[in-house]
Structure 1
Amino acid sequence: MRDLLRARLAAARRRRRGDEGWTLVELMVSMTIFAVLLTIVFSILISVSTQTRDNLARNRAVEEARLGLMQIDRQVRSGNVISDPAAETIAGSGVAPYYSLRVHTQTDGVYQCVQWRVIYPAGSEFGDLEYRSWRPDWQAVGGVEDWRVVAHNVVKPTGTGFVESDPTTWPPFYVDPSSAAQASSEAQTIRVTLRLKDPAQRASSKPASVTSVLTGRNTVFGYPADKCATIPTP
């Protein structure tokens, strides 16, 4: 009988102990582990989201830079005369030397003067790639088009000066004497370098950069160099 009573009392004690739940220490430890796991998960999610947004922004910048280069390439390859960007003036382009390019071209069989420039609004680190065209006889017949923006968010070269041996300092337009195309052909060539950075990219992310040496196929035929010398007001 006594053994039966002891067994019932022990069973009752076990039931009461099972109903007691976690102690405060156990609860604090569990909450701490859960908080750490949540922090790790959210950190991973934020990192993946930031990286995805940065990659998408960079892809947009690369695509915009390539489209701008393709349009310039199309007109330069049909070019008859390519003016040296080093000789460009603010009066004729609105920008400093090496930031403007003039070409007398016959794209699609239409003889015209085209001008490209990279211009930076006051107080902005991002510039625009712009384009305009006019007829060689514009002073008599008109036909000067307004500037049109082809690409946004163009970033300036690094450094304080232009060094031919350092690609990070290359301006948008310049005659590259070291290029194979310039050395092996009598045709005029021009190096075009565009660096674009989407504002959605992280501050530490590098800009997308495209560069290419373009050749004017018709420049070997000796067209007059002053075909587009008379420039409309920029």
Structure 2
Amino acid sequence: MLKNRLDASQSSDSGREIGLTLVELMVSMLVFSIFIAILLSSILGVTKAATQAQVIARAASGTLSVFQNFDREIRYADAINYPGAGASGARYVEFRIPAVSSDANAICRQWRFDPNTGFLQSRQWFDVTPFSNPTWVTRLSVVFDDGGSNYPFAVSPAQRSGSAMQQLTLTLDAGNATQRGAAIASNFVARNSSIASVSNDNVIYAGASGARVCTAGART
């Protein structure tokens, strides 16, 4: 009988030794919670860094593509209009590329930036009648409006003292809805332009040259 009681007592003590006390359990949970918090913080940091890298890569790729388009097109232009805003608030600039031969047509190129959507778009058409009214192509989808009534375009006229050709300055700051990824500010020279270019007159009315080229593309 005594032996049975001793065995039961030893069994009960062994059970208590195997388990955890309430204090031990709370300490374990606290340590585990700290570990999880550190782990989640590390994961969030890596995710944020990866997202930022993607934003920068996409914005850089987009701005580089826009730069290449302007560089390829404007160098052959014979006239650049002064930039201006349409009724919607979108900001426009146009330039004309002369025909390469007597049986070809000049090409008009129009760019616009809509500060309401952040879109930078372009379209082109042959400078003939009737006007074909082409659709817009989005070149960059998130461009920040960094201010200025004509941002991101600026035109410098051809002058007798200074540059003998018209120049267009493009300033862009692109990214996504919350992060800025890439910026560019470049001057492009219209090598076929001169003081005699139709749009070089710097008498600006409603944000437009005194005489514009490619007028079929309305600034809406």
TM category (shorter chain) comes to 0.7 to 0.9
Shift of 1:113: 1.5
Computed over aligned residues only, the root mean square deviation of the Cα atoms, in angstroms, reads 3.1
- In structure 1, the residue matched to 2:121 is 130
Q: 1:117 to 1:22 in 2, by over 3 A?
A: same
Distance 1:216 1:40 in 2: 57
Kindly report which structure 2 residues correspond to 1:70-109, keeping only aligned pairs within 5 A, or say none. Answer: 70-85=68-83, 88-90=84-86, 95=89, 99-106=91-98
SS of 2:180's partner is coil
What is the percentage of aligned positions where both structures have the same residue? 24
Identify unmatched segments of 5+ residues in structure 2: 1-9, 200-210
Q: 1:132 to 1:16 in 2, by over 3 A?
A: closer
Distance 1:57 1:217 in 2: 35
Shift of 1:189: 0.9
1:66-95 CA deviation, whole Å, 9 max, x = no partner? 21222122111111111122xx3526xx54
Q: 1:89 to 1:53 in 2, by over 3 A?
A: closer
TM-score normalized with structure 2 length: 0.72
1:49 aligns with 2:41: no
Shift of 1:114: 1.1
- In structure 1, the residue matched to 2:184 is 210
The one-letter amino acid of 2:155's match is V
Verify the 8 A CA contact 2:95 2:214 in the aligned structure 1. Answer: no
SS of 2:141's partner is strand
Shift of 1:194: 1.6
- In structure 2, the residue matched to 1:228 is 213
Distance 2:25 2:48 in 1: 34
The one-letter amino acid of 1:104's match is R
1:109-160 CA deviation, whole Å, 9 max, x = no partner? 762121111024xxx4x3211112233332xx444423222221121115xx
TM-score normalized with structure 1 length: 0.68
Distance 1:108 1:21 in 2: 90
1:196 aligns with 2:174: yes
Identify unmatched segments of 5+ residues in structure 1: 1-11, 163-169, 178-182
- In structure 2, the residue matched to 1:175 is 155
The one-letter amino acid of 1:149's match is T
Q: List structure 1 segments (4+ residues) > 6 angstroms apart after TM superposition.
A: none
Total equivalences in the alignment: 192
Return the structure number with greater helix share: 1
1:117 aligns with 2:104: no
Shift of 1:222: 4.0
The one-letter amino acid of 2:52's match is D
Q: 1:37 to 1:18 in 2, by over 3 A?
A: same
Q: 1:17 to 1:89 in 2, by over 3 A?
A: closer
